[in-house]
Structure formats: C-alpha cells, structure tokens
C-alpha cells in the first residue's frame, strides 16, 4: 500500500492486517517505560489512533479529538501510538497540558513493522485508526492516504458504536 505526504507517494514497509484478522503480535512502551504487548490490549474493545509524529499540528489535533471522545465510551480503551520516544511523548503531554491519555511509544518500530504501517521514506508510522474487539480481532481499519490530513473521526466513532454504546456525559 502507498500513502502520500503533501502529494509525494511513499510505500508502507509491509502488509496491513485486514478487518477480520487478529491484531499481530508487537511490543510498545507506555509512559512509565513498561513493555506493552498485543496481549495487554486484548480483553476490552480498543480504538488505536496511530500518528506519525506527536510534535506536529495534525497529530496533536487527532490525539486531542480522540482523547476528548474517550469519556463518551467508558466500555472502550483509547490508545495513541507514535514512534516518538517515551520522553518525547511525556514532553508533549506536559507542553500540551494533556492528561489521561494512553500514549504508547513504538520507538523500536515493532508495531510499525508487524502492522505494515512503518513508512521507511518518512521514518515514522502511517496515520491510521484501528478498532479491535475484546478478542483482539480487527473490526475497523482506516489508513489515511494523504498523511497531512486528519482521519475520518465520524466513521471511526460510528464503527466503535457498533461494539460499545456512547454515553453522553
């Protein structure tokens, strides 16, 4: 698969898992630098928001929008994955005044290679949204073709609502 950044085509490093398949095995790191494996994400419906670089405006907007929605879906877990280091992610949270966000670092690119989302020419992950059910099966996948654009939030949240109800606060 190819994505673009400002119109320039870039190939992804591997094959993307399809809807209906299980999320592949990978490891990430949380904000306490603890290893988080695929198995740790299974057991609860999860929305995984993947951003190329937290320190860019579109990635900040995407992360904030999903963080703001998380309270409306208490039966689901929301994660943001980037290949920024744990220290960079922590710094971003401090600079942006963001709390209660589950940031996961893919600095080692395990997630990027296993999901086929690593973009070698750019050195980061492709912007995408993934929803997995409680068994770890992929029920929704959205890879944003033009990486400088935001994802379709409404489509992702509509897909999430098929698994868990929205609760208005």
Give the domain ranges of the chain: 11-162
Contact 28, 36 (CB under 8 A): yes
Predicted local distance difference test score (pLDDT) of residue 105:
97
68 Cβ neighbours under 8 A, 6+ residues apart: none
What CATH number was assigned to the domain covering residues 11-162?
3.40.30.10
Task: State the Cα–Cα distance between residues 40 and 125, nearest whole angstrom.
Answer: 21
169 pLDDT band (50/70/90 cuts)? Answer: low
Predicted TM-score (pTM) of the model is 0.95
* Catalytic residue chosen out of the listed positions 28, 41, 59, 119: 59
Per-residue pLDDT tens for 90-109? 898 888 877 777 999 999 99
Active-site residue, 93 included: no
């Amino acid at each position: 698969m190819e994505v673009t950044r400002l119109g320039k085509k870039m190939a992804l490093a591997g094959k993307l898992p399809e809807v209906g398949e299980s999320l592949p095995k990978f490891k990430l790191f949380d904000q306490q630098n603890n290893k988080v494996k695929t198995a740790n994400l299974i057991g609860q419906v999860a929305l995984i928001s993947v951003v190329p670089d937290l320190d860019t405006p579109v990635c900040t907007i995407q992360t904030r929008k999903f963080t703001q929605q998380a309270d409306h879906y208490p039966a689901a877990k929301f994660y943001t994955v980037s290949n920024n280091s744990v220290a960079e992610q922590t710094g971003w949270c401090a600079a942006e005044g963001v709390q209660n966000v589950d940031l996961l670092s893919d600095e080692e690119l395990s997630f990027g290679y296993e999901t086929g989302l690593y973009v070698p020419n750019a050195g980061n992950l492709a912007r995408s949204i993934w929803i997995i059910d409680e068994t770890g099966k992929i029920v929704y996948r959205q890879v944003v073709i033009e990486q400088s654009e935001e994802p379709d939030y409404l489509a992702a949240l509509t897909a999430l609502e098929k698994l868990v109800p929205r609760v208005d606060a």
